[in-house]
A and B are shown apart, each in its own frame.
Chain A
Amino acid sequence: MLEIKNLHVKLEEEDKQILKGVDLTVEAGKVHAIMGPNGSGKSTLSYVLSGKDGYEVTDGTATLDGEDLLDLEPEERAAAGMFLAFQYPVEIPGVGNMTFLRTAVNAQRKARGEEELSAADFLKVVRAKAKTLKIDADMLKRPVNVGFSGGEKKRNEILQMAMLEPKMCILDETDSGLDVDAMKLVAEGVNALRDEGRGFLVITHYQRLLDHIKPDVVHIMANGRIVKTGGPELALEVENNGYADILAEVA
């Protein structure tokens, strides 16, 4: 599904190489986790895949179901099925959360040549999905993420994912800043979306999220590269011993 080959990325404004040859393939139906020290390039990878400005790809490729992602505008990537749950969801004063969701859903439907959802149909779906994430009517009415707690913002990301039903979901530290109950809600939201046709890339520091969202493959990223790949036991190793041993071993 998602195929990243030898991806090299530098900052556009500075001569700073951040990704130094990332190779990673996420198959449909699988959950891959990425762990790694702060500053190793995990968020950068997620941004580059979703098309954020400010980065320059100097080498390598990234495709989604064979389609070159790096050539597409962010909205085209979204329509192609790419979704990023942001590490720091953005506040948008003046745009109601509901308006935002409906605009996004209908924009993607339109881009795919599907009919737009009627206001009534949309409302029904969004209410049901919001309820399972314990997002109340008030949060749907308020401006996007404005005045939301950290946990509310993350749940709102999962709601967007549930509404958009993307093919490839990247979750960037969706668990950070969540208490145990909120994390369970988020994990349930993700698990409800697990499907043969859908791939996940879960960026996290903590085993506890992976207790709830069981990964098929775990990668360790350090200094702009995937330095080790293994099964779920790799996450446990990190949990128990930190990154030092693994990094020393691959150095």
Chain B
Amino acid sequence: MALPEVKQTATDARLAALTLPTGGCLEDARRAALSRVQTLGLPGRRDEYWKYTRPDTLTQVEAPKAAIFDTDEAPMFDEFDRLKVVFVDGVFAPEESDDLSLEGVTIERISDICDKDIHWAKDLYGVLEARGQSPVARPLAALNTAFAQDGLAIHVTGKPSKPINMIYRHSDEGSDAILHHVIRVDAGAEATILENGPAASRFNKCMEIDIADTGKLHLVRAQGRDHERRAATHLFARLGTESEFKSFTLTVNGVLTRNEAVIELTGDDAIAHIAGACAGDGDFHHDDTVFVTHDAVNCESRQVFKKVLRNGATGVFQGKILVKEGAQKTDGYQISQSLLLDDDSQFLAKPELEIYADDVACSHGSTSGAIDEDALFYLRSRGVPEGDATDLLTLAFLAEAVEEIEDEEIAAAIVTRLEGWLARRR
């Protein structure tokens, strides 16, 4: 079927400006992804899936400029013992990174997986992304698979003693980064991955995560303070029997962020928790688009998203739980809430359930509200000044999402960031 003309033109223009990396073992996967982009076309304003978020700056040929944000503050996660892997404007920076060897995990660049003949990575690259194109198209992810300039292949074979921290620095005001990571967690293996930083003026990131039976992966990311940066990220995860995937994303600032998570529970008794907290002030548009598919028995999924918005900021949540036929005993939970600190800000939510099994417990809820006046008065009547009381209630509102982080120290670091955001706005 031919694409609408506007979409065709935009897609052609964008593709013409990119060069498909050729040679090597990923070329077939890249070409297949390119043909997906050509068939689907890049997202346009008329697309139902982009109803609440304008995709044009994410798809246009040139990345809009974004000022580099400077701060004296210690970078996120600095206080933790971790393995640092630094990318500058989307390119691996070995001189700034730690030695990538760590017991229980093997880390390679995707550009090395052919020479080093890393089968699992070749077999995973682009596969979950391609699966994730149905029932809803995600052309920016296919574009990523085709053109990714760098990325990691992380193989978790044991229980590494410390988290792996991808640090995404932004150094060029016009940088346009496309990063693609593939992650494989073996049976019984367990790791924590941290990500932080804005990465580039425009960042397209795709992460494909394959978790074998009984494997566990925890992902905590903080998307950086740069006000003008834009990001479209995709997380594709496939979970085996009794495996576990927990992800939390903190977003403060950034003019545009679209975080998609596509989770497939394919083995019985698996657990997936996807959570996010965002705080936006003014020119801030934040979109969480989540699609969880239950395709096995007795799995649990949770989606917990909280957004604090002020001065005309916009929050979007599109979340779906799909329970396939036979996925009995599914326990699915979804909550998306916004706290609007003024009348100019808005929250647009589209929660969806689609269930084809009869013995399931699924619930979803979405709310949008202001600070609870009774709670505010109660605090003030005890002597807490209005500003402090508002901050306390704002953090309390975000707490349900932050509590999804299993590691208490990491959760505390996230709370500190949120406190900082609130303090800067007093």
Taking the nearest CB of chain A, how far is it from the CB of B372, in angstroms? 8
Question: Cβ of B400 and Cβ of A74 under 8 Å apart?
Answer: no
**B385 interface neighbour in A51, A52, A86, A107, Cβ under 8 Å:** A107
Question: Cβ of A103 and Cβ of B396 under 8 Å apart?
Answer: no
Question: Cβ of A74 and Cβ of B381 under 8 Å apart?
Answer: yes
Question: Cβ of B393 and Cβ of A95 under 8 Å apart?
Answer: yes
Closest to B377 in A: A52
Taking the nearest CB of chain A, how far is it from the CB of B385, in angstroms? 5
**CB of B115 within 8 A of chain A?**
no
**B380 interface neighbour in A73, A83, A143, Cβ under 8 Å:** A73
Closest to A82 in B: B381
Given contacts A90-B374, A90-B375, A94-B397, contact A50 B388 (CB under 8 A): no
Question: Cβ of A51 and Cβ of B380 under 8 Å apart?
Answer: yes
Contact residues in A for B374 (Cβ distance below 8 Å): 90
Taking the nearest CB of chain B, how far is it from the CB of A38, in angstroms? 20
Closest to B382 in A: A104
CA distance A53 to B371 in the complex (A): 14
**A104 interface neighbour in B383, B386, B400, Cβ under 8 Å:** B383
Given contacts A86-B378, A92-B378, contact A107 B400 (CB under 8 A): no
Contact residues in B for A108 (Cβ distance below 8 Å): 382-383
Question: Cβ of B396 and Cβ of A94 under 8 Å apart?
Answer: yes
Could you name 20 residue pairs across A and B whose Cβ atoms are closer than 8 Å?
A51-B381, A52-B381, A53-B373, A74-B377, A74-B380, A75-B383, A77-B381, A78-B380, A89-B378, A94-B396, A94-B399, A100-B382, A103-B384, A103-B392, A107-B382, A107-B383, A107-B384, A107-B385, A107-B388, A111-B385
Contact residues in B for A111 (Cβ distance below 8 Å): 383, 385
**CB of A140 within 8 A of chain B?**
no
Closest to B374 in A: A90
Question: Cβ of B377 and Cβ of A75 under 8 Å apart?
Answer: no
**CB of B395 within 8 A of chain A?**
yes
Contact residues in A for B382 (Cβ distance below 8 Å): 78, 100, 104, 107-108, 160, 164
User: What does the 1/0 interface line of B252-284 toward A look like (CB < 8 Å)?
Assistant: 000000000000000000000000000000000
**CB of A158 within 8 A of chain B?**
no
**CB of A79 within 8 A of chain B?**
yes
Question: Cβ of A104 and Cβ of B379 under 8 Å apart?
Answer: yes
Question: Cβ of B385 and Cβ of A75 under 8 Å apart?
Answer: yes
Closest to B400 in A: A94
Query: Across the A-B interface, how many residue pairs have beta carbons closer than 8 Å?
Result: 79
**CB of A34 within 8 A of chain B?**
no
CA distance A92 to B384 in the complex (A): 14
User: What does the 1/0 interface line of A96-121 toward B look like (CB < 8 Å)?
Assistant: 00011001110110010000000000
Size bracket of the A interface:
20 to 34
Closest to A92 in B: B375
Most A C-beta atoms less than 10 A away, residue of B372, B377, B382, B399: B382
A-B pairs with lowest CB-CB distance, top 9: A94-B396, A78-B383, A104-B382, A74-B380, A108-B383, A90-B378, A94-B399, A95-B396, A107-B383
CA distance A51 to B383 in the complex (A): 11
Taking the nearest CB of chain A, how far is it from the CB of B30, in angstroms? 46
CA distance A92 to B396 in the complex (A): 8
CA distance A164 to B374 in the complex (A): 20
CA distance A105 to B388 in the complex (A): 13
Contact residues in B for A95 (Cβ distance below 8 Å): 392-393, 396
Contact residues in A for B379 (Cβ distance below 8 Å): 92, 100, 103-104
Contact residues in B for A107 (Cβ distance below 8 Å): 382-385, 388
**CB of A84 within 8 A of chain B?**
yes
Question: Cβ of B378 and Cβ of A75 under 8 Å apart?
Answer: no
Closest to B399 in A: A94
Given contacts A92-B396, A95-B393, contact A84 B381 (CB under 8 A): yes
Taking the nearest CB of chain B, how far is it from the CB of A81, in angstroms? 10
Size bracket of the B interface:
20 to 34
CA distance A149 to B384 in the complex (A): 25
Closest to A84 in B: B381
Within 8 A of B (CB), among A49-64: 50-53
**CB of A242 within 8 A of chain B?**
no
Question: Cβ of A73 and Cβ of B386 under 8 Å apart?
Answer: yes
Question: Cβ of B380 and Cβ of A94 under 8 Å apart?
Answer: no
Contact residues in B for A50 (Cβ distance below 8 Å): 381
Taking the nearest CB of chain B, how far is it from the CB of A149, in angstroms? 18
Question: Cβ of B393 and Cβ of A75 under 8 Å apart?
Answer: no
Contact residues in B for A93 (Cβ distance below 8 Å): 396
CA distance A110 to B398 in the complex (A): 27
CA distance A151 to B369 in the complex (A): 30
Contact residues in B for A100 (Cβ distance below 8 Å): 379, 382
Taking the nearest CB of chain B, how far is it from the CB of A48, in angstroms? 12
CA distance A95 to B376 in the complex (A): 12
CA distance A192 to B396 in the complex (A): 33
CA distance A103 to B384 in the complex (A): 7
Given contacts A53-B373, A53-B377, A90-B375, contact A104 B384 (CB under 8 A): yes
**A92 interface neighbour in B380, B381, B393, B400, Cβ under 8 Å:** B393
Most B C-beta atoms less than 10 A away, residue of A50, A75, A78: A75
Taking the nearest CB of chain B, how far is it from the CB of A194, in angstroms? 21
Question: Cβ of B392 and Cβ of A75 under 8 Å apart?
Answer: no
CA distance A89 to B374 in the complex (A): 10
Contact residues in B for A51 (Cβ distance below 8 Å): 377, 380-381
Taking the nearest CB of chain B, how far is it from the CB of A46, in angstroms? 10
Contact residues in B for A78 (Cβ distance below 8 Å): 380-383
Taking the nearest CB of chain B, how far is it from the CB of A218, in angstroms? 25
Contact residues in B for A105 (Cβ distance below 8 Å): 383
Contact residues in B for A73 (Cβ distance below 8 Å): 380, 385-386
CA distance A79 to B373 in the complex (A): 20
Contact residues in B for A86 (Cβ distance below 8 Å): 378
Contact residues in A for B377 (Cβ distance below 8 Å): 51-53, 74, 90
CA distance A46 to B373 in the complex (A): 17
Question: Cβ of A75 and Cβ of B375 under 8 Å apart?
Answer: no
Question: Cβ of B380 and Cβ of A75 under 8 Å apart?
Answer: yes
Taking the nearest CB of chain A, how far is it from the CB of B418, in angstroms? 12
Question: Cβ of A94 and Cβ of B381 under 8 Å apart?
Answer: no
CA distance A99 to B400 in the complex (A): 16
**B395 interface neighbour in A77, A84, A91, A94, Cβ under 8 Å:** A94
